[in-house]
Amino acid sequence: MFSVNELLNFLIEKKYIEEKPAEVDGNIRISKFSSLANPTKSSICWAKKLLSVNEIPDCAVLICLLEQKHNPDLETIMIHVAEPRRVFGDIVEKFCPENEMSGIAPSAIIHPSVKIGKNVFIGPNCVIGEGCEIGDNTRIDANVTIYDHVKIGKRCHISSGAVIGADGHGYFLDENKRYKKIRHMGGVTIGDDVDIGANSCVDRGVLDDTTIGNNTKIDNLVQVAHNVVIGENCIITGGCQIGGSVKIGNNCWLAPNCIIKNGVSLVDEVRVCMDTTVIRNIQKTNVTVFGNPAKAIMPFYLDRCTDI
């Protein structure tokens, strides 16, 4: 795949390291990426935390923390960096880029009014409704349903089984005390660089659009109800339930299976822990909340401690 020299030059170019480590054989070839559990002599691994000497893998290269010690019995090349996860992600993107996909599967059903950008991939059995817009370089995997009047930005990835733009769960009692559905006349607007995981649902708004900001990443099996507004660069992990008309700021993190009550607002930089239920507005930034009901327990970013 690539040589150690190519790897080191890339890391220097990205300013992850200042110079090549001494006495390193730059001609060594790296043939694969491996986990710590399954290293090989020709693979590159990474460790997000400090390892004991005996835990260091017998691999070609290990991307590790600055404080990581070496095992003198191994020939593993240690590359010490401040953020191994970020560095490893950039290495993968550089040397093992994802294959670009474009084209429309013959079995896809697309309304004639749909506007499709350049280099878009639409997989088998997708259904895309009237008035939709799909931005350049967006990938829509098999069996995705996109209802009418949904706008999806550039470089998005919608995974299989997702449903975008279905009606939300909105009803009212008629004169006979029977529930009747409220007509949903809004749509869904999705920004650029957004990921939506498999079997997740994003409901259309009643009047205004449900909105997802640029670079937000939504995991599998997430429910985003009608009229929700999610900011930019958020992480929404598997099993989260976001009630109707919720507003989530920028740079927020929702851990697995958390619940955000309908109508609640979260400001920027709020982290919601696993299985937490948020029933009131969170009005302080840089905060982590936990429990049912949610309570502030610590800052989001420890290096920017504030009174929580």
Q: Which residues are catalytic?
A: 226
Contact by Cβ (8 Å): 223, 244: no
**What separation in angstroms does the CA of 72 have from each of 48, 69, 174?**
21, 9, 77
Q: How far apart are CA 258 and CA 288, in angstroms?
A: 13
The number of residues making up the chain comes to 308
Q: Residue 39, preceding bond cis, omega within 30 degrees?
A: no
| Per-position DSSP letters for 40-53, written without gaps between them | -TTEEEE-SS---G
Q: Which DSSP symbol is given to 142?
A: T
What is the secondary structure of 227-293 as a DSSP string?
A: T-EE-SS-EE-TT-EE-TT-EE-TT-EE-TT-EE-TT-EE-SSEEE-TT-EE-S-B--SSEEEETTT
Residues 6+ apart with CB under 8 A from 195: 156, 157, 158, 159, 216, 217, 218
